[in-house]
Structure formats: structure tokens, C-alpha cells
Structure 1
Amino acid sequence: MIIVTTESVPGKKTIEYKGFVKGSTVQSKHIGKDIMAGLKTIVGGELKEYTEMMEEAREKAIERMVKNANANGANAIVGMRLESSSVMQNASEIIAYGTAVVVEV
């Protein structure tokens, strides 16, 4: 699956538009890692527990978006974007979305 943030795949002709596709997930860390991250805010620095959580969430959201595109018969996704939001304390939603297309191979 080709995934680009541009409106088309460079060097490829778009044959067909399949439509909007998306994938999302809501992630949280367990209380132990949450406490460690809270302590880290006192002294400063990267909150690695949350960095890892958000990386896992992005991967899952993109994987689900690709599954949605494959189900629609696409071989590429153009205009891909990622967004995040807080759904509750210590839990974030990541949404990956774009337009599924068929490009020449």
C-alpha cells in the first residue's frame, strides 16, 4: 500500500477514487507508567512512556486505515493525515484518514 500526504502519488496516474478511509484507536498506559510519567514532569524531560504509547497508537490507526482501503479495492492512500484528541484523563485517540485510490502499477 502506497501512503502519501500529497494529493497524488508522484509519478503515478490515479485511475480511480475509492473514497474516504479511516482508522482509529484509543490508547492509555497502565497506572504504574502513568505515575512514573507524572514524576518525570517534576524534573522535566521526555515522557518516554507517552511517546511509546502515541507511537503504538499511530501504528494501529494507520494499520486500520490501510485495512479499510484494502477492503475498498485501493492500492494507495492520498492526502493522509493523523489527528489526536484526549478522550479522558490519560487516554488519547489517534485517527488516521485519507482518500483511497487506485493508481497505475
Structure 2
Amino acid sequence: MEFIRGIDMIKEDFELPDRLVTAIFNTLFNRSAHRWYIKLRQAHGHQSWTWWKTQIIKKWANDYWRCKVEKAFESAKFNSDKDKDLPWLCQQKDRLTAFYPDMSEFMIHRTILRQF
């Protein structure tokens, strides 16, 4: 997942300890992710980044989640009257990258353009 790769890179680049990395979760997560985080944090206390990484993967990197994102991608049709082009394109690109992380930029753009 892109989120996990990003945290891993920041942790490595700045040589951050786990406590500092996991301390930002309370402000980083919002809505249902924040409720999920608070529930786990209260139940398990302070945990390492490795532990949190495992929990995030269990929660969001599963077949149900992938299917949900894929359906959202397929059902999102660009409407020039209501959609702004760049935010719509970025959201579609994020969705494709989420369930096909190894897809090339060329294939991402080609797949999105086929929706028009």
C-alpha cells in the first residue's frame, strides 16, 4: 500500500523511532479510520510501527477493500458539468494504483482514458 510505503520511507530517511511515527496517527487518520485507530489504541496500548503496519494491512489491504475500490473506479464516469477534471483524474489514478500497485503510468493513463 502506498500509505505504508510512504511511512516506511519517511521513517528510514529521518531515522524516526516507532513512537514518533505512531504518534501522528491520532491526527493523520480521520472519520472511520480514526475511530478504528482509537479503538485499537485503547485495546492494545502503544505498539510498534511494525504492529500497526500489520493491522493496517489486515484492515484495508484485503479482497473486500480491493473490490470496493475497483467498483468505485469502474462506476466513476466523468461528467464535465459536475466534475473538475484534475481532481477526478487524480482520484481515478489513486484508485487504480491502490488495486494495481505495479501498473505502469502508461497503462494507468490508458485505462483512465478508456472511461471517456
Normalised TM-score (structure 1): 0.30
The structure whose residues are more often helix, as a share, is 2
Normalised TM-score (structure 2): 0.28
The structure whose residues are more often strand, as a share, is 1
